[in-house]
Structure 1
Amino acid sequence: MTATEWTENLPTNHVMMRLIDYESNKTIGNEILCDPCKFANEKTKAKVHCHECKEYFCEQCLSYLHKRKRDNNTHTITTITEDMPLKPFEVDELCPVHSGKVLEAYCFDHGNLCCSLCFMTNHRKCDVKSLDEIANDKKEDLNMDDFISKLVETEQSTESLIKDKNEKIAQLDKNKEEILQTVNGILSDTKSHLDSLYEEFKKSTEKTFLNSEENQKDYVEWLVGFQKTLINCRRMANAVREHGSGKQIFVTKERLKFSLEKHFQRMTLSMQYSGYDEQYEADIEEELSEIQRWSKLASLKGKKLDKHALRNFEKTMGSLTERCNKFLCTIPVQVVSFPQHSVPFQFLGKIWRIECTKDGSSLGMYLELISGDKSDCSRYVSAELRIIHTSDNTKDKVQKFTHRFSEAEPDWGYESFINWIFLVSKSNGFISNGLMKIQVKLTQP
């Protein structure tokens, strides 16, 4: 799901709708308009307000849209008077978990708004107050100035992060072009150098083969000359054999033998150098042959950039959304392997989680700082780790510690938090449906 699709699927915020109405009504004589008519781009003055539907109706829409639904017959309808002020914050908010229920209370342990069913299901043992009680409690800080100030700070931090990320995007594109240009430049230079070396090798090879061919031709010329000498000698020997005397035969044979020997000596003496009857092969440099076995030309290696903008965003966002210092999670105990981790939670603008380990007969439990600038976590954090008993909170297993979390020591806890057999025994009441409930309470001393 994209960010746009996510925002389009957000539930209707009735308080925000009433606020928009309030701003609109300032310009139209403080009149309250009918909600169904507004959806049809019509401006009709509303006559009544339905508390359950959280909508205003004109007489026609009340009769033909609202009253014709059977379930709406029990809704509370209030007539709008001329002097009735629009109070957007008096609109009841629906519970996002239990359909038809409105939010009535707030759990200070978990930082959750609750309906009556939420309270009965998950918050009976918690510090819970009704919303009316909170609104009338003079000790409660209902001033929005500090929250708005944090909103502005977070808005600025978000804008800074957007700017930083856009700069990173532009930098990535520039970085890509620089890498491609560098590799392409090296490749072009390498090709040019190889072409130059090839031309030199080609000239040298052509010269070597030309010399070898000329030597072979000289060799052939000598052999052809020697062949002619042999033919002449054979003719003379045949003539003397047919017509010469014995003395003439002997003399001629010795003279021909001497002449052939001298001719052969001159021929072989002129051919005493290398290059005859040779074949060549290229002795290619090993590095050049190795290139053909390469599977890639280059690889990318990432490097960490400054995350100052992201750290500021995490810090301001954590300050804005922090609601409580108690966090509840469940961990399965009927699992094949450990460690097991809780869902991450936020405290002091940083992201934390619980890690459970199992070593022999003991269950270990640790608090981990997993996100945020660990180098600036110079202050100590006190933690209370608690395995909640399913029926009696006096039997909860509790351990406490204080630790300064840092890059060197991002986690802290207990190697042996509770005996494993004691934990999983049904009679001891810590496990329900294969799960144990863990609560961590964080404070800064």
Structure 2
Amino acid sequence: MAASASVEPEKESFRCPMCLEMLNSPRYLPCLHTFCEVCIQTYISSSTTRDEKDELNVINCPVCRKQVKEPENDISSEGLAKSLPLNKCVTTTAANSDTESVVNCMFCKRKNETVSANHWCKSCAEPICDECKDFHARVPSLKCHKIVEMNNTVKWNEAIDIDENCAIHKGKIVDIFCRDHNKLCCCVCFANQHRRCTNFDSIDEIVMNLDKSDVTEKLQSLSSLHDCIMELQEKNKKQTDALYASKEDICSSFAKKIEKAKMLIDHAHEQWHKRFVLNTQTILKSCRMN
């Protein structure tokens, strides 16, 4: 686990709750808590248990303890971690907050190379260099990725694309919101599970009809909620520290009392033994005299 460091408050949201480092390949659980892919994979491999019916493996969110079931029987910890949705919103927002600082290409970083990034791939949700941009153009599966210049802040921030892959159907994008079930789904999920639903919209339509003032109000509300949660966490930490200190005092006090009791017992046993020996000698002496 990494050592905790002093960071700017606005960057705390981009740190993994497990390793305390900046989120790397952020994956989020159904409860929306986000972790590094490697961190959550390690946690899954060491904390998996069976559900009540002993049918599926389950884990509890490291933060809120909400139960999460594996999508299929006996999936590996790596497979379960990779099946979790990639939090591109966090990655994109974190990158946008660092536009004035030096950003390195993530593709090159995986090869242990440090190369400054000049572009942002919205589909990969990662910064890339000129060479990796050319690589995107040469690979058929990457050609459709949307790439913008990082130094063009206006173009970068306008209409940020956050295409979310469906956790069930690989290669399908979550693009429909079913109001009947209050659930996001891809076209396959919609065809299989929501064919009788009548109240639904595409995500694009919802975004187009969003009231910006309403969004701002909700963001302010979320910000206030975040501050409240941070305050509660700090209060909880202080209470935990106080309880731990009290526990240590109680244990120390009992240890001293136990040690004192042992000394008293040893002293009493020693006095009894002396009297026993003395009485025995007196009786033996009396018997000899008679």
* Same fold at TM > 0.5: yes
How many residues are treated as equivalent by the alignment?
A: 207
Instruction: Name the counterpart of 1:183.
Output: 258
> What whole-Å deviation, never above 9, does each CA across 1:243-273 have from its counterpart, x for those lacking one?
xxxxxxxxxxxxxxxxxxxxxxxxxxxxxxx
2:201 match: secondary structure: strand
Structure 2 residue 44 is the aligned partner of structure 1 residue 16: no
Give the letter for the 1:175 counterpart: I
Percent identity, aligned pairs only?
20
Instruction: Name the counterpart of 1:409.
Output: none
> What whole-Å deviation, never above 9, does each CA across 1:19-45 have from its counterpart, x for those lacking one?
2322222357xxx97553566322142
Instruction: Name the counterpart of 1:275.
Output: none
Structure 2 residue 249 is the aligned partner of structure 1 residue 174: yes
Q: CA deviation at 1:96?
A: 3.2
Query: Residue 176 of structure 2 contacts residue 202 of structure 2 at CA under 8 Å; is this kept in 1?
Result: yes
Give the letter for the 1:113 counterpart: L
> What whole-Å deviation, never above 9, does each CA across 1:411-433 have from its counterpart, x for those lacking one?
xxxxxxxxxxxxxxxxxxxxxxx
Greater C-alpha radius of gyration: 1
2:89 match: secondary structure: helix
Q: CA deviation at 1:207?
A: 0.8
Structure 2 residue 115 is the aligned partner of structure 1 residue 42: yes
Give the letter for the 2:184 counterpart: L
How far apart in 2 are the matches of 1:88 and 1:195? Answer: 87
Query: Residue 15 of structure 1 contacts residue 88 of structure 1 at CA under 8 Å; is this kept in 2?
Result: no
Going from structure 1 to structure 2, the CA distance change for 1:36 and 1:206 (only over 3 Å counts) comes to: same
Instruction: Name the counterpart of 1:71.
Output: 141
Q: CA deviation at 1:58?
A: 4.2
Give the letter for the 2:115 counterpart: E
Query: Residue 37 of structure 1 contacts residue 44 of structure 1 at CA under 8 Å; is this kept in 2?
Result: no
How far apart in 1 are the matches of 2:211 and 2:117? Answer: 43
TM-score by length of 2: 0.57
Q: CA deviation at 1:206?
A: 1.2
Structure 2: gaps spanning 5 or more residues: 1-16, 21-33, 41-84
Give the letter for the 2:36 counterpart: E
Going from structure 1 to structure 2, the CA distance change for 1:108 and 1:206 (only over 3 Å counts) comes to: farther
**2:234 equivalent among 159, 177, 185:** 159
How far apart in 2 are the matches of 1:19 and 1:135? Answer: 18
Structure 2 residue 187 is the aligned partner of structure 1 residue 116: yes
Instruction: Name the counterpart of 1:136.
Output: 208
1:129 match: secondary structure: strand
Instruction: Name the counterpart of 2:166.
Output: 95
Higher relative contact order (CA 8 A, sep 6+): 1
> What whole-Å deviation, never above 9, does each CA across 1:29-67 have from its counterpart, x for those lacking one?
xxx975535663221422xx655434454442233x324
Instruction: Name the counterpart of 1:104.
Output: 175
How far apart in 1 are the matches of 2:268 and 2:179? Answer: 74
Query: Residue 15 of structure 1 contacts residue 89 of structure 1 at CA under 8 Å; is this kept in 2?
Result: no
Structure 2 residue 271 is the aligned partner of structure 1 residue 196: yes
> What whole-Å deviation, never above 9, does each CA across 1:86-109 have from its counterpart, x for those lacking one?
347433233333322222233456
How far apart in 2 are the matches of 1:125 and 1:7? Answer: 36
2:174 match: secondary structure: coil
Q: CA deviation at 1:68?
A: 4.5
How far apart in 1 are the matches of 2:98 and 2:148? Answer: 21
TM-score by length of 1: 0.39
How far apart in 1 are the matches of 2:261 and 2:253? Answer: 12
How far apart in 1 are the matches of 2:257 and 2:188? Answer: 65
**Structure 1 segment 298-313 matched on structure 2, within 5 A:** none
Query: Residue 102 of structure 1 contacts residue 115 of structure 1 at CA under 8 Å; is this kept in 2?
Result: yes
Instruction: Name the counterpart of 2:52.
Output: none
Going from structure 1 to structure 2, the CA distance change for 1:18 and 1:51 (only over 3 Å counts) comes to: closer
Larger deviation, residues 34-43 vs 173-182:
34-43
Structure 1: gaps spanning 5 or more residues: 216-445
1:106 match: secondary structure: strand
Query: Residue 86 of structure 2 contacts residue 164 of structure 2 at CA under 8 Å; is this kept in 1?
Result: no
CA-atom RMSD in angstroms? 3.6
Comparing both structures, which one devotes a greater share of its residues to strand?
1
Give the letter for the 1:72 counterpart: L
Going from structure 1 to structure 2, the CA distance change for 1:137 and 1:121 (only over 3 Å counts) comes to: same
**Structure 1 segment 307-346 matched on structure 2, within 5 A:** none
1:113 match: secondary structure: strand
Going from structure 1 to structure 2, the CA distance change for 1:4 and 1:98 (only over 3 Å counts) comes to: farther
Give the letter for the 1:209 counterpart: L
Q: CA deviation at 1:128?
A: 3.9
How far apart in 1 are the matches of 2:105 and 2:133? Answer: 10
How far apart in 1 are the matches of 2:265 and 2:280? Answer: 22
Query: Residue 18 of structure 1 contacts residue 88 of structure 1 at CA under 8 Å; is this kept in 2?
Result: no
Give the letter for the 1:22 counterpart: N
How far apart in 1 are the matches of 2:35 and 2:210? Answer: 36
